[in-house]
Amino acid sequence: MTGGEDGFIVVGAGIGGLATALSLHEIGAPVDVFESLPALQPLGVGINLLPHAVRELDALGVLEPLRRRSIEPTSLVYCSRHGQEIWREQRGTAAGYAWPQLSVHRGTLQDVLLHAFLERVGPGHLHLAHRLVRLDDDEAQASAVFRTEADDSVVVSGLGIVAADGIHSAARAQHYPSEGRPRWNGSLLWRGVAEVEPLLDGRTMIWAGHRDQKFVAYPIADLPNGRQQLNFIAELRRPDSALGRTEDWNRVGVLSDFLPQFEDWAFDWLDVPAIIRSAPTTYLFPMVDRDPVTRWTFGRSTLLGDAAHPMYPIGSNGASQAVLDARVLAGCLRADKDVVAAFERYERARVPATGAIVQANRGLGPEVPMQVVHDRAPEGFDDIDTVITRAEIEEVTEAYRRTAGFALSSLQADPRSLIDQWSTPAPIAEDRARAFSGDS
């Protein structure tokens, strides 16, 4: 037997799993992390962390090392597929938040969290090459059965288990065996990182296009030579393509599959085909999520992150919501030593909050104005105010911020970390009200 029966087991050493382990350590709970891979590698490309998640990373004491290895975007520009500006808004501290928004390589964030875990919790509490097979539970403890690299079966027991094992979660599949593969919406994403001269002011995120064809770009690192690493996503809607049948973050893309559709996206301020060609590699991934479920907690085990609520990469929410999960969970456990009750309180808070984001992202989330402009002026426009009003755009963007929980007024009203906010027991009705208000 590995691990400790008086502590917690976290399955998965990704962003959600490591944030959970660090948060449990923060409240004094012993924790061990079990990861299926034999070695942790900096997989993926760029991600964005929204101010409410950065607040939590600041409380965890990892903000400064993240800041040194990331970019703090100060604005977001919406554009048409003709390169015409639709809308510009400030982001992060430039928008009045106490915490920045961070654009960073996913591997960098994982590395910062891993370093903190090894330093604080200790390398002896990280167990690689342990693939989850099954979860078991009784009134006194929870157990996880793992298969090791040597094909041995290992049983680990603890007070509770947090399954942060991703979109293909074995824990989720155990409780929802008929769910099947993730749900694909017909769009394909080609992701890459290119070295470029700074675009605009070097601190601007760019969203261009519409539902069927879109290009997203933002810098994730400044380079010593004055250039930047630019993360990009080229998206095409192809519901009949066989390319959407595999969900693998490491699947290498082929330029001829998507670059021809972007050849005429060369504007005086943004040369999309040149950016795509300059990336050493692109990675192909279908736009997938899963239908929200109403239950994550089963006795002494619960789901977290992509295992609980995989969502489309719209609105910069995937990694941020996993961090929020971890912090609410730790707050609930600090408030209630009854593990089952704490897990259930965490579930009441996070299920409705994340389910609302999944549904909002299916409806294009904050990108709705781009589609509206394309529908109303597909060949371009002379004056954007004759196509869509500022009030229309503001209504959509602010509604999404409320849904995702990072409305400025909400963070200003209570700047405490989520662990502190959820460390006080509260009636179920109050928890539900907080969850649906987006404050969680």
pLDDT over 70 (residue 437): no
pLDDT, greater one: 135 or 427: 135
State both tokens at 354.
Answer: 């994340």
**What is residue 45's predicted lDDT score, i.e. its pLDDT?**
85
Question: Mean pLDDT across the stretch 132-136?
Answer: 96
pLDDT over 60 (residue 433): no
Give the number of other Cβ atoms within 10 Å of residue 115's Cβ.
13
Give the number of other Cβ atoms within 10 Å of residue 386's Cβ.
10
Question: Mean pLDDT across the stretch 271-284?
Answer: 97
Task: Indicate the average pLDDT of the chain.
Answer: 94
Q: What span, in angstroms and rounded, lies between the C-alpha atoms of 219 and 199?
A: 8
pLDDT over 50 (residue 72): yes
Q: Is residue 217 included in any domain, yes or no?
A: no
pLDDT over 90 (residue 208): yes
Residue 430's pLDDT band, with cuts at 50, 70 and 90, is low
Q: Is residue 302 included in any domain, yes or no?
A: yes
pLDDT over 70 (residue 438): no
Residue 83's pLDDT band, with cuts at 50, 70 and 90, is very high
Q: Is residue 153 included in any domain, yes or no?
A: yes
Question: Mean pLDDT across the stretch 421-426?
Answer: 85
Instruction: Tell me 256's DSSP state.
Output: G
pLDDT over 90 (residue 426): no
Q: What angle do CA 130, 134, 135 make, to 5 degrees?
A: 105
**What is residue 1's predicted lDDT score, i.e. its pLDDT?**
37
Q: What is the tens place of the pLDDT at every residue in 38-59? A: 998 877 789 999 999 999 999 9
pLDDT over 90 (residue 13): yes
Q: Within 13 Å of residue 115, how many CA atoms lie on the same side as its CB?
A: 11
What domain range is 314 assigned to? 8-70+103-180+292-363+403-437
Q: What is the tens place of the pLDDT at every residue in 338-373? A: 999 999 999 999 999 999 999 999 999 999 999 999
Q: Which residues contact 124 (CB under 8 A, 6 or more apart)?
A: none
**What is residue 436's predicted lDDT score, i.e. its pLDDT?**
45
Residue 440's pLDDT band, with cuts at 50, 70 and 90, is very low
Residue 427's pLDDT band, with cuts at 50, 70 and 90, is low
What is the model's pTM?
A: 0.94
**What is residue 5's predicted lDDT score, i.e. its pLDDT?**
66
CA distances from 62 to 19, 116, 412 (A): 10, 7, 21
Q: Within 13 Å of residue 334, how many CA atoms lie on the same side as its CB?
A: 19
Q: Is residue 321 included in any domain, yes or no?
A: yes
Candidate from 237-241, 244-248, 328-332 with smallest mean pLDDT: 244-248
Q: Is residue 188 included in any domain, yes or no?
A: no
Candidate from 247-256, 403-412, 420-429 with smallest mean pLDDT: 420-429
Residue 2's pLDDT band, with cuts at 50, 70 and 90, is very low
Q: Is residue 138 included in any domain, yes or no?
A: yes
Q: Is residue 29 included in any domain, yes or no?
A: yes
Question: Mean pLDDT across the stretch 159-183?
Answer: 96
State both tokens at 210.
Answer: 């519409």
Q: What is the DSSP string of 76-145?
A: EEEE-TTS-EEEEEE-GGGGT-SS--EEEEHHHHHHHHHHHHHHHT-GGGEE-SEEEEEEEE-SS-EEEE
Domain of 143: which CATH number? 3.50.50.60
Q: Report the DSSP beta bridge partners of residue 87.
A: 78
Q: Is residue 47 included in any domain, yes or no?
A: yes
Candidate from 190-199, 292-301, 423-432 with smallest mean pLDDT: 423-432
Domain count, the chain: 1
